[in-house]
Amino acid sequence: MVRTGLDRLLARLGEGDGPCLGRYALLAHGASVTAELVPAHVALAASPAGAPTLLLGPEHGYYGVEQDMVPAEAGRDPWTGARIVSLYGASEGTLRPDPAVFDGVDLLVVDLQDVGSRYYTYAATAIWAAEVALGAGIEVWILDRPNPLGGVVVEGNLPEPGYDSFVGAFRLPVRHGVTLGELARLEARRRSWGEGLTVWRMAGWERSMGWEATGRPWIAPSPNMPSPTTARLYPGGCLVEATTVSEGRGTTRPFQLVGAPGIDPPALARALEERWRRLATAAGGEPGARAIPTFFRPQFQKHAGALCGGVELVADGGDRLRCYAAGVHLVAALYEIGQGVPGTFAWRPEPYEFVHDRPAIDLLAGTDTLRLAIEAGAGLDQWIATWERDEAHFREERREVLLYSEPADRKGIA
C-alpha cells in the first residue's frame, strides 16, 4: 500500500526524535485519512503533535457536506474542539484566508486529496492558503497524496492569459500529471516563495500507478466524486457543467450520466462514439471509452425531477482514454444534437465560480477557441493538435519539481 505524506508524518511523530509541529493549522477534508482510515485531524490529535489549533475547510466544507458552489459555514470540530474556518464562502474574497487567521499559529499543514484536473478547486485553495501563510511568516507543510490519474499522461491546452479563475488558477494542462506536492513546488518556483515550504512525499507511489494500484480505498474527496472512474472521466466531463445539459449531479453517477429532456439517447450515443472513433484513429489507438444510451432522472440541480435522455459514459481503456479530448467532443456532440432539438442545449447563462464576465465554458477551457469552434461548426482536430506543443512545454517545466521519477520508457508520451 502507498503511504501518504500523512502516514509518514505520523510515523515520524511516533519516534522519539520526531518533528515538532507546535501550534498548527490543518487544511484538510473528508478524504484526508490515514492508511487505517482515521481522519487526519483525529489521528494528529492522538499523536504527540496534539490537536490542531485551527481547521481550514475547502470548497464543500471540511466534512464534504455542501454541493458545488454552495457556501460552506464556519464551525467547531466535535472531535478536537478546534475552530473551523471556511475557505469557500459567499464571495470571491473568502477563497483566500485572512492573514489574521494565522495569528498564534506556527505552521500550516495541508492534506488534501486532489483528482489531477486543472478545474478541481482544492489545488487552488492549497496554494493560495500556503501563499498567505508564508507571507505571514508561517511555515507550510504539504502532505502529499496520489494523483488518481497517475503521473505519466499529460493532456490538454495551457490556459491563455485573462482566463484565470478558481477553476483555472494555474498554468497547467487540464490533465497535468502532478501531485499536489509537486504542484506546490512548481508554484513556489513560479512565485519565488523562497524558504518555508516542505513537502512530505509519499512512499511507494510510482507515476505509472492508477488509483487501484495504490492499494488504498477510495474516499470521495467531494460529494460528486464517488469513485476512481468518476475521476477518470472528470477532466472531460466537467465541461458539461458549462452547459444547461445535466452532468449527472443529482444522481448516483455524476460525470458518468449526461443528458437533458428531449435528447434522443441512441442518436447522442451514435454521434459521440463516431467522434471518439475518429479521435482514436487519429491518435493511432483505441477510444478507451464507450457511450451507452440511457435515461435518468436527477433528484436535484439541473433538470431536477425531469426524465433526461442521454448516455452513460464508461471508461474502459485506462491510460488509452484521452479523457479531456473525449469531453471536448462530448460537448460538441451535445451542441449538434441541440441544434436539431431546440431547448436541449445552451451555454450556462449564470455566473460561474464568482466570475460574471466570461462564459463558464471559456473559464474551463482556458480559452474561447473551443466555444467559438463549436458554435461555428468547425472541426476540433486543428485545435486539439496544438495541445502537443503545450503538453511538451509543461513537461519540460515540471521536470525540475518532480518528486517521483518518470518511467524511462514513457518519457514524452502524452
pTM metric for this prediction: 0.96
What pLDDT does 16 receive? 77
Q: What is the mean pLDDT of the chain?
A: 95
Q: List average pLDDT for each run of 10 residues in the chain, which is 414 residues long.
A: 98 88 97 98 97 98 96 96 97 97 97 98 98 98 98 97 97 98 98 97 97 97 97 97 98 98 97 92 77 98 98 82 93 96 95 96 98 94 95 97 82 37
Domains along the sequence of the chain with CATH: 5-209+394-401 (3.40.50.12170), 228-378 (3.90.1150.140)
Burial of 164 (0-12, 13-18, 19+ CB in 10 A): middle
In the numeric block, the cell 464576465 is attached to 357
Contacts of 315 (CB under 8 A, 6+ apart): 229, 232, 233, 288, 289, 321, 323
CA–CA separation, 406 and 411 (whole Å): 7
Residue 169 neighbours by CB under 8 Å, 6+ apart: 123, 124, 127, 128
The model's pLDDT over 187-245, given as tens digits with 9 standing for 90+, comes to: 999 999 999 999 999 999 999 999 999 999 999 999 999 999 999 999 999 999 999 99
> Cell digits for 337?
444534437
Q: What is the pLDDT of residue 289?
A: 87
Sheet holding 257-260, edge to edge: 257-260, 308-315, 289-296
Residue 218 has what DSSP assignment?
Answer: P
Q: Give the residue from 279, 280, 285, 177 showing the smallest Cα distance to 235.
A: 177
